[in-house]
């Protein structure tokens, strides 16, 4: 270019030519020129590498499907263009919002992310199948979960609290006296909606239906003899306990599946807690008004 220029203006060219040559030899000019070229080049390169918003075939199909579900027919060409334009605009706004950091401090976004993280960690925290030894150890540690309440069989005579003039307590006491005098005859009381004879009933059920005083009596009364009267919300009762079984413990074998479920649930909870703990280690948590720990 310089040579062409010198050829087209030979008369006036000499002085300018000299200046040009001198300037062209300056290292500073070299530096600036290279810089300018690099700048222009980088600019155009970056323009070519703008972030891409891509709506692929699958997205298009999904968009059209959702539209169809709500409208009960496929979109026409114009509608499809609108749907796609809307989707693009939404994406652009969302990207720009992210770039500007608008997601920061947004409770809904934070919750959603935390939820996604929780789902992700829950999946990875699948524990290995426990061995029998592990399960047995866990079973003995949690044995009380596999115990059943003690059970009792008994007969009862009931004296309704509705008897006039406080007659129930007196009638019950008299019946008790007679029963003590003559061990063979059973005392006769009032009809009762609850059974007058129970076979092998759990004391838990009795606690719910009669209350603590009644349970205490059937749990401690001597076997085979009438005891009472004991008062309940219904009236007065005499009871004759015929059999009592201590609380029973289910064998490991009989509850192995439940032990396994509980063991795995425990492991999962532990894994989740451990993950949170590891997160706590990776961050310093500062809460206003709480000393930094």
Partner 1 sequence: MERKVGRRTAQILASAALVGVLGAAGAAPGQGQKPPAAPAKSAAPVPAKSAHLASWNPDRNAYFGDLHVHTMLSFDAYIFNVRATPDDAYRFARGEAIGHANGMNIRLAGGPLDFTAVTDHSEYMGAMREANDPSRPLHNSPLVQGLFSPDPAAISAAFNKIVGLSQANQMPKDFSAPDVAGRAWKEVQEAAARNNDPGRFTTFVAYEYTSAPDGRNLHRNVIFRTPKVPELPYTALVSSDPENLWKTMDQWRAKGIDVLAIPHNSNGSDGLMFETTRRDGTPMDKAYAELRMRNEPLVEITQIKGTSEVHPSLAPNDEWANFEIMERYIGSNKQVTKFHGSYVREALKDGILMREQKGFNPFKMGFIGSSDTHNAAPGSVEERNYFSKVGRSDGTAAQRGSVPPGGAKTWPAVVPDSNQALAPFQAWGASGLAGVWAEENSREAIFAALRRKETFATSGPRIRVRFFAGYDFPDDLAKRADLVKTAYAKGVPMGGDLRPSAGKAPKFLIWGLRDPNSGYLQRAQIVKGWVENGKAREQVFDVACSDKLALNKTTWRCPDNGAGVNLATCEPDRFKGDVELRTLWTDPTFKPKQRAFYYVRILENPSCRWSTWDALRNGTPPNPTLAKTIMERAWSSPIWYEPTA
40 vs 213 by CB, closer to partner 1: 213
Cβ atoms of 177 and 157 within 8 Å: the answer is no
Which residue stretch of 68-76, 124-132, 174-182, 285-293 sits at the interface with partner 1 (rule: CB under 8 A)?
A: 68-76
Q: Rounded CA gap, 239 and 226, in Å?
A: 5
Q: How far is the CB of 42 from partner 1 (least distance, A)?
A: 39
For the segment 31-50, give every residue that binds partner 1 (CB under 8 A). none
Backbone angles phi, psi at 133, to 5 degrees: -65, -45
Nearest to residue 273, comparing CAs of 122, 137, 119?
Answer: 122
Does residue 277 touch partner 1 according to CB under 8 A?
A: no
Q: Is 119 in the site for partner 1 (CB under 8 A)?
A: yes
CB of 121 to partner 1, least distance (A): 12
How big is the site for partner 1, counted in residues (CB under 8 A)? 62
Whole-angstrom distance, CA of residue 112 vs CA of residue 114: 5
List the one residue from 265, 273, 274, 279 that touches partner 1 (CB under 8 A). Answer: 265
For residues 67 and 60, what is the distance between their CA atoms, to the nearest angstrom?
Answer: 11
Q: Confirm or reject binding of residue 109 to partner 1 (CB under 8 A).
A: no
Q: Burial code of 148-164, b = ≥16 C-beta within 10 A, e = fewer?
A: eebbbbbbbbbbebebe
- With CB under 8 A as the contact rule, the residue among 222, 233, 289, 291 that binds partner 1 is 233
Enter the DSSP assignment of 250.
-
The pairing of beta strand 248-249 with beta strand 147-148:
antiparallel
Of residues 14, 132, 177, 200, which one binds partner 1 by CB under 8 A? Answer: 200
Distance between the two ends of the chain, CA-based, in angstroms? 71
Stretch that binds partner 1, among 2-10, 16-24, 73-81, 190-198 (CB under 8 A): 190-198
Residues that bind partner 1 (CB under 8 A): 62, 66, 69-70, 72, 115-116, 119, 123, 142, 145-148, 151, 160-162, 164, 166, 168-169, 188-196, 199-202, 204, 207-213, 231-236, 245, 248-250, 254-255, 258-259, 261-262, 264-265, 268
């Amino acid at each position: 270019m310089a040579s062409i220029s010198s050829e087209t203006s030979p008369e006036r060219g000499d002085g300018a030519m000299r200046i040009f040559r001198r300037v062209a030899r300056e290292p500073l000019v070299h530096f600036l020129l290279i810089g300018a070229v690099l700048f222009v080049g980088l600019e155009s390169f970056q323009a070519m590498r703008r972030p891409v918003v891509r709506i692929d075939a699958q997205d298009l199909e999904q968009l059209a499907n959702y539209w169809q579900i709500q409208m009960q027919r496929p979109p026409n060409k114009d509608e499809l263009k609108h749907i796609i334009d809307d989707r693009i605009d939404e994406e652009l706004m969302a990207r720009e919002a992210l770039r500007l950091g608008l997601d920061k401090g947004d409770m809904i976004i934070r919750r959603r992310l935390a939820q996604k993280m929780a789902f992700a960690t829950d999946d990875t925290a699948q524990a290995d199948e426990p061995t029998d030894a592990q399960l047995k150890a866990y079973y003995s540690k949690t044995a009380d979960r596999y115990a059943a309440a003690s059970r009792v069989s008994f007969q009862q005579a009931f004296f309704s609290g509705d008897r006039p003039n406080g007659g129930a307590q007196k009638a019950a006491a008299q019946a008790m006296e007679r029963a003590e005098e003559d061990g063979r005859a059973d005392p006769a009381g009032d009809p009762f909606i609850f059974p007058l004879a129970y076979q092998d009933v759990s004391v838990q059920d009795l606690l719910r239906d009669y209350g603590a005083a009644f349970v205490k009596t059937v749990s401690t009364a001597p076997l085979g003899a009438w005891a009472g009267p004991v008062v309940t919300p219904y009236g007065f009762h005499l009871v004759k306990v015929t059999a009592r079984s201590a609380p029973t413990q289910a064998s490991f074998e009989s509850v192995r599946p439940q032990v396994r479920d509980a063991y795995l649930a425990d492991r999962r909870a532990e894994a989740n807690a451990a993950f949170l703990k590891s997160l706590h280690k990776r961050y310093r948590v500062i809460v206003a008004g709480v000393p930094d720990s």
